């Protein structure tokens, strides 16, 4: 594993799991993430997530992902047999500042959470104008896609799982801004899981 470079200012860091054929959700039921589970518990996936949240001070999520993450992860704290890396991430998620992009949520359902109803790129510009560490977008596809389209992603982390979903939504749409990315970390592990981290070259 190569050392990841640190840059000045607040970085926008995105994290997403993809199938080998490039999809982030199954075609029949996008909410069913059971295909991820055999691979999400590997050392590669856990270590990647740890490397992403440790320098981050803000979690940025869409509404659907926020409800899923914040409904599950707090239950991991103190869970018997929980991997220490999972518990550490859960504690970070509970204790860190969270920004949820939503036009339908009326009030924050979780502590240290702000609901923002504005375009994704504009919300990120506002966050980058403040003090803090990395802004981590946790598997919220709609948020990541909007940030990629606006060329706002500074670090792109992908966990590739060795299976074909045969269809479903893709993370990388045609028409994204042309640009170069530098591979700063690559790790292969159990079950053929591959963790890749790219930095945007500007």
The predicted model scores a pTM of 0.92
The whole-number pLDDT of residue 11 equals 97
Query: With contact defined as beta carbons under 8 Å apart, do 39 and 161 qualify?
Result: yes
CA 182 – CA 200 distance, rounded (Å): 6
- Has residue 173 been placed in a domain? yes
CATH at 85: 3.40.430.10
The whole-number pLDDT of residue 31 equals 80
The whole-number pLDDT of residue 152 equals 97
- Has residue 145 been placed in a domain? yes
Chain CA centroid to CA 107, Å: 23
Its domain, for residue 175, covers 12-201
Using DSSP bridges, classify how beta strands 194-201 and 180-188 pair: parallel, antiparallel or unpaired: antiparallel
- Has residue 7 been placed in a domain? no
- Has residue 127 been placed in a domain? yes
Domains of the chain: total: 1
The whole-number pLDDT of residue 5 equals 44
* CA triple 58-150-160, angle to 5 deg: 70
- Has residue 130 been placed in a domain? yes
pLDDT at 3 over 90: no
């Amino acid at each position: 594993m190569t050392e990841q470079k640190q840059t000045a200012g607040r970085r926008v860091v995105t994290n997403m799991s993809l199938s080998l054929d490039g999809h982030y959700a199954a075609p029949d039921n996008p909410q069913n993430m059971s295909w991820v589970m055999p691979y999400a518990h590997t050392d590669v996936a856990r270590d990647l997530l740890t490397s992403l949240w440790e320098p981050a001070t803000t979690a940025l999520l869409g509404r659907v992902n926020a409800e899923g993450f914040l409904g599950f992860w707090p239950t991991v704290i103190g869970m018997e047999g929980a991997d220490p890396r999972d518990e550490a991430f859960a504690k970070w998620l509970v204790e860190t500042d969270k920004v949820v992009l939503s036009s339908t949520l009326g009030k924050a359902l979780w502590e240290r959470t702000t609901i923002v109803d504005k375009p994704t790129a504009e919300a990120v510009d506002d966050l980058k104008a403040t003090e803090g560490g990395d802004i981590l977008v946790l598997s919220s596809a709609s948020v990541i896609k909007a940030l990629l389209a606006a060329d706002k992603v500074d670090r792109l982390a992908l966990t590739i799982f060795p299976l074909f979903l045969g269809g479903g939504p893709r993370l990388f749409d045609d028409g994204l801004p042309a640009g170069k990315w530098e591979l700063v970390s690559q790790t292969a592990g159990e079950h053929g899981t591959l963790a890749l981290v790219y930095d945007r070259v500007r």
